[in-house]
Amino acid sequence: MKTVTYTKKDIIRRVANQVNAPDLQTKNYIDSTFKIMAQMLCEDHDRVRIEVRNFGVLEVKPTKAKPKARNPRTNEIVYVPAHRKTHFKAGKIIREKLRQPL
Protein backbone atom coordinates (compact mmCIF):
# COMPACT_ATOMS: atom_id res chain seq x y z
CA MET A 1 0.00 0.00 0.00
CA LYS A 2 1.33 3.44 -0.94
CA THR A 3 1.92 6.08 1.74
CA VAL A 4 0.73 9.63 1.06
CA THR A 5 2.30 12.44 3.07
CA TYR A 6 0.52 15.78 3.39
CA THR A 7 2.33 18.87 4.60
CA LYS A 8 1.19 22.14 6.12
CA LYS A 9 1.47 23.67 2.65
CA ASP A 10 -1.12 21.16 1.37
CA ILE A 11 -3.49 22.11 4.18
CA ILE A 12 -3.01 25.81 3.41
CA ARG A 13 -3.77 25.29 -0.30
CA ARG A 14 -6.93 23.28 0.35
CA VAL A 15 -8.27 25.71 2.95
CA ALA A 16 -7.48 28.69 0.70
CA ASN A 17 -9.34 27.04 -2.20
CA GLN A 18 -12.33 26.17 -0.04
CA VAL A 19 -12.79 29.65 1.45
CA ASN A 20 -11.64 31.60 -1.64
CA ALA A 21 -8.86 33.40 0.23
CA PRO A 22 -5.27 34.12 -0.79
CA ASP A 23 -2.69 31.50 0.20
CA LEU A 24 -0.64 34.01 2.21
CA GLN A 25 -3.59 35.11 4.34
CA THR A 26 -4.63 31.49 4.90
CA LYS A 27 -1.03 30.59 5.82
CA ASN A 28 -1.09 33.20 8.58
CA TYR A 29 -4.31 31.78 10.02
CA ILE A 30 -3.13 28.16 9.84
CA ASP A 31 0.28 29.05 11.33
CA SER A 32 -1.40 30.94 14.17
CA THR A 33 -3.78 28.07 14.85
CA PHE A 34 -1.01 25.47 15.02
CA LYS A 35 1.20 27.79 17.11
CA ILE A 36 -1.55 28.40 19.66
CA MET A 37 -2.42 24.68 19.83
CA ALA A 38 1.25 23.84 20.43
CA GLN A 39 1.44 26.46 23.19
CA MET A 40 -1.70 25.04 24.80
CA LEU A 41 -0.32 21.49 24.69
CA CYS A 42 2.98 22.62 26.23
CA GLU A 43 1.38 24.46 29.16
CA ASP A 44 2.57 23.40 32.59
CA HIS A 45 -0.35 21.14 33.53
CA ASP A 46 -0.32 17.37 34.11
CA ARG A 47 -3.12 16.85 31.61
CA VAL A 48 -4.11 19.11 28.74
CA ARG A 49 -6.97 18.35 26.37
CA ILE A 50 -7.88 20.14 23.14
CA GLU A 51 -11.22 18.98 21.79
CA VAL A 52 -12.07 19.89 18.21
CA ARG A 53 -15.65 18.82 17.51
CA ASN A 54 -16.10 16.51 14.51
CA PHE A 55 -12.32 16.09 14.25
CA GLY A 56 -10.89 14.61 17.42
CA VAL A 57 -9.13 15.18 20.71
CA LEU A 58 -5.46 16.04 21.25
CA GLU A 59 -4.38 15.18 24.76
CA VAL A 60 -1.22 15.40 26.84
CA LYS A 61 -0.93 12.58 29.37
CA PRO A 62 1.71 11.90 32.03
CA THR A 63 3.75 8.70 31.88
CA LYS A 64 5.32 6.79 34.75
CA ALA A 65 9.07 6.48 35.18
CA LYS A 66 10.54 3.22 33.94
CA PRO A 67 13.49 2.18 36.10
CA LYS A 68 14.35 -0.88 34.01
CA ALA A 69 13.75 -0.01 30.37
CA ARG A 70 15.97 -1.68 27.77
CA ASN A 71 17.74 -0.08 24.84
CA PRO A 72 16.87 -2.50 22.00
CA ARG A 73 20.00 -1.61 20.05
CA THR A 74 22.53 -2.30 22.82
CA ASN A 75 20.43 -4.34 25.29
CA GLU A 76 21.61 -1.92 27.95
CA ILE A 77 19.26 -1.34 30.91
CA VAL A 78 18.42 2.37 31.13
CA TYR A 79 16.29 4.55 33.39
CA VAL A 80 13.52 6.49 31.63
CA PRO A 81 12.20 9.37 33.77
CA ALA A 82 8.52 10.27 34.03
CA HIS A 83 7.47 12.62 31.24
CA ARG A 84 4.41 13.71 29.29
CA LYS A 85 3.27 12.36 25.92
CA THR A 86 0.71 13.36 23.34
CA HIS A 87 -2.23 11.26 22.29
CA PHE A 88 -4.75 11.79 19.48
CA LYS A 89 -8.18 10.21 19.43
CA ALA A 90 -10.05 10.62 16.17
CA GLY A 91 -13.60 11.96 16.28
CA LYS A 92 -16.70 9.96 15.43
CA ILE A 93 -16.93 11.10 11.79
CA ILE A 94 -13.30 10.19 11.04
CA ARG A 95 -13.57 6.84 12.85
CA GLU A 96 -16.70 5.88 10.88
CA LYS A 97 -15.11 6.80 7.53
CA LEU A 98 -11.93 4.84 8.34
CA ARG A 99 -13.94 1.75 9.32
CA GLN A 100 -15.62 1.52 5.93
CA PRO A 101 -14.22 -1.23 3.72
CA LEU A 102 -11.98 -0.15 0.85
Domain identity same for 83 and 94: yes
The contacts of residue 8 (CB under 8 Å, 6+ apart) are: 30, 31, 34
Domain identity same for 50 and 1: no
For residue 96, what is the DSSP state?
H
Domain identity same for 9 and 59: no
Domain identity same for 37 and 57: no
Q: Tell me the residue range of the domain where 84 lies.
A: 45-102
Domains: count for the chain: 2
Written as one letter, the residue type at 72 is P
Distance CA 44, CA 34 (A): 18
Domain identity same for 53 and 87: yes
Domain identity same for 37 and 52: no
Supply angle C-alpha 95, 100, 102, rounded to 5. 130
pLDDT tens-digit readout, 48-68 = 999 999 999 999 999 999 999
pLDDT tens-digit readout, 22-42 = 999 999 999 999 999 999 999
What's the whole-model pTM score?
0.79
SS (H, E, C) 10-65: HHHHHHHHHHCCCHHHHHHHHHHHHHHHHHHHCCCCCCEEEEECCCEEEEEEECCC
